[in-house]
Homo-oligomer: A and B are copies of this chain.
């Protein structure tokens, strides 16, 4: 029965029984973590072979003859550029390989734009205002980057097929202060949504008011399917879509193997037009002599090609899928029909996005969960400035705990959702 359809007496009785349940859970003194998108330890074991493919007996030369154990090569060894290109569906000449962190590439790209401009434009540090579009809910670390540069972030609602493109278009095509937009186009963080073909085409067709506007296309979950063979989401290649639309320089695409091989010890890369890559190289050649080519070699030799990565992702899915299933089955069982909230059912990625039906509940749900030993991503984290205007959104990250832990954590979460929702409705009636 929907809570809002209950009588006040029914709701009060429910609140009492929920509070008892909550107190019982709290008394159990659990310590569970559903806060960050981290692979579980047993997931990491499938990448251990990576540590053996480059050893003291190995030939350390890349296929173009580069000695990966010495200086040289700024843009990535050929086999690793090819590997990452295959992973995201572009061609190697569009790809530079960097170090382990794609967040670092994005940060540096924003920093470079502030310091030196974009392909000859005015450095953004000399502008009065820089604005950025932020599909919400979104990835907290993206918003953290632009916040650290004093950028004015503008919320854009996310739908199942991507950001509200009418709004995106209005801003991008009319306001020259809008210099960028954060996108997680596939299995989005936190919803698990994948942009539709039409959304991607509308992105590629944008006619920005600012010549130095760029789409920051963080394809972090390009191959992170949960249901492997039978229902992977698909996403058109943004690089070629932008080329076809006559705007080849409008996009930077980012990716890494952090949730494919080892988080923080994988390889990352950027894909973009040749003009953009030249612009990046100009500054990067001053910043660094070259990235870790031995780790590039490790990845190229371990995965071999895009198909090798897809195989690896099927193994990851075996670990992750039962966790999503467990979380979603608790949510479905405990919350369906209560009208207390809604949540996503992703086909991939690392997160489930939950929204309470009543406004002003998320912070209180997260607080109660924490007191009962269940750590969630901070409420508000999915919005710029940590400010969720309705205070409804919570990001659930089911990958790190075991299925048993997760089931327990999900149960406590649903108790808290129901308790806070019942109280909120009662409060509003009072």
Contact = CB atoms under 8 A, between A and B. Distances in A.
Interface of A: 36, 38-39, 41, 44, 47-52, 54-56, 58, 67-72, 99-101, 103-104, 107-108, 111, 114-116, 123, 125-126, 141, 144-145, 148-149, 258, 262-265, 283, 286-295
Contact of A265 (B41, B69, B101, B108): B69
A54 B58 CA distance: 15
> Can you tell how many copies of this chain the complex includes?
2
Nearest to A111: B111
B51 A56 contact: yes
B55 A52 contact: yes
Nearest to A266: B292
A148 B295 contact: no
B263 A70 contact: yes
A264 B283 contact: no
B295 A292 contact: yes
B44 A107 contact: no
Given A100-B99, A264-B72, A292 B292 contact: yes
Contacts of A286: 107, 141, 144-145, 148
A71 B38 contact: yes
Given A51-B54, A58-B51, A104 B70 contact: no
Contacts of A291: 100-101, 264
Contacts of A39: 70
Contacts of A262: 69-70, 294
5 contacts: A69-B263, A111-B111, A148-B283, A264-B292, A264-B293
A285 B291 CA distance: 20
Q: Which 4 A-B pairs have the closest CB atoms?
A: A48-B56, A107-B287, A265-B294, A71-B263
A264 to B, nearest CB: 5
A116 B107 CA distance: 14
A43 to B, nearest CB: 9
Given A38-B70, A264-B290, 15 more contacts: A51-B55, A51-B294, A52-B55, A69-B265, A71-B258, A72-B264, A101-B288, A101-B291, A103-B288, A104-B287, A114-B115, A115-B149, A145-B287, A265-B292, A295-B295
Between A50, A69, A72, A294, the greatest number of chain B beta carbons within 10 A of the residue's beta carbon is seen for A69
Contacts of A287: 103-104, 107-108, 145
Given A55-B52, A100-B99, A71 B36 contact: yes
A291 to B, nearest CB: 7
Contacts of A38: 70-71
A68 B44 CA distance: 11
Nearest to A40: B70
Contacts of A125: 114-115, 123, 125-126
